[in-house]
Structure 1
Amino acid sequence: MSDKIIVYNAFYNPIEANIVKAKLKDAGIPCFLTDENVATINPLFNQAIGGVKLNVFEKDVAQISALLADDLELEVPEMDVEKEADKVTCENCGSTNVSYGLATKNKHSWWVAVLSILMAIYPFKANKCYHCYKCGHEFN
């Protein structure tokens, strides 16, 4: 192995890149970040520049992979399984991929539409309902 510097990983979140950099520094592995300032100042350029790049020596890649693999195993939280009784199911297809929010089809009632046209204002009240993301059905 040589002392060649390579890009080990690219991050679209500068904070995440700095956390990984700090872990490597604590383990005594030399590393540095590039394009961090551009990504921090204007996050819209992040994809164009390829994110914040973590640069390391090629000889340290195996040690870094082992260190970060151990950390990933510890940091990944287990998903809480929702109780079946708390889930709302779609009346149309029976799917549980349902959420409560603003209606998309009948967003405003007729009296709100008439009143907003007469007063030349944006409708001030919107209907809420459950929306199924599988079939698109809306219900209360």
Structure 2
Amino acid sequence: MSQTFKTIAKFQYTAEAQIIKGRLESEGIEVFLSDNITIDTDPLVSNAIGGVKLKVLSTDAMQAQHILESISKYSIDDEGKAIHCPNCNSTKVAMFSTIKDFKSFFAFIFGFISGTLPFYSKDKYRCANCNTEFDIK
């Protein structure tokens, strides 16, 4: 029997792929990452080469896909409970980084010029249902 791999997910950065890889390996699924070394060397080429590819054996693809679908794509609080939107009470809330004030804009420009990643940005939450942006206290 030939052991061919099938790509089941793509990620912008290696860290994201490593987390999912660990989860799949804990379930006994053999996982292979491709293009992760290239992206670790130069993260700016991630979009050009299609990101880090997470591959599993073709025979394990269906089981791996079910595990991926079971992982929540939305934010949770420190106690593991879903974050609720203050406007519509939906649990489809995701965290995002924003550059809206002078301090975060200056940090972004400095990081861009110096070739480092931005070291200051404000994290907020956005509801997928009503697009309300809010902070958690």
Instruction: Provide TM-score, normalisation by structure 1.
Output: 0.52
- Residue 82 of structure 1 corresponds to which residue in structure 2? 86
Quick check: 2:8–2:65 contact (8 Å CA) kept in 1?
Answer: no
Quick check: 1:2–1:59 contact (8 Å CA) kept in 2?
Answer: no
- Residue 45 of structure 1 corresponds to which residue in structure 2? 45
Shift of 1:82: 3.4
Compared with structure 1, are the counterparts of its residues 80 and 55 closer, same or farther at alpha carbon in structure 2 (3 Å cutoff)?
Answer: same
> How many positions carry a matched residue from both structures?
85
Instruction: Provide TM-score, normalisation by structure 2.
Output: 0.53
Mapping for residues 20-99 of structure 1, pairs under 5 Å: 20-72=20-72, 76-77=74-75, 78-82=82-86
Write the distance in 2 (CA, Å) between the matches of 1:58 and 1:38.
Answer: 24
% identical equivalent positions: 31
Runs of 4+ in 1 over 3 A off after TM superposition: none
5+ residue gaps in structure 1?
Answer: 84-99, 103-140
Please tell me the residue identity of whatever aligns with 1:76. Y
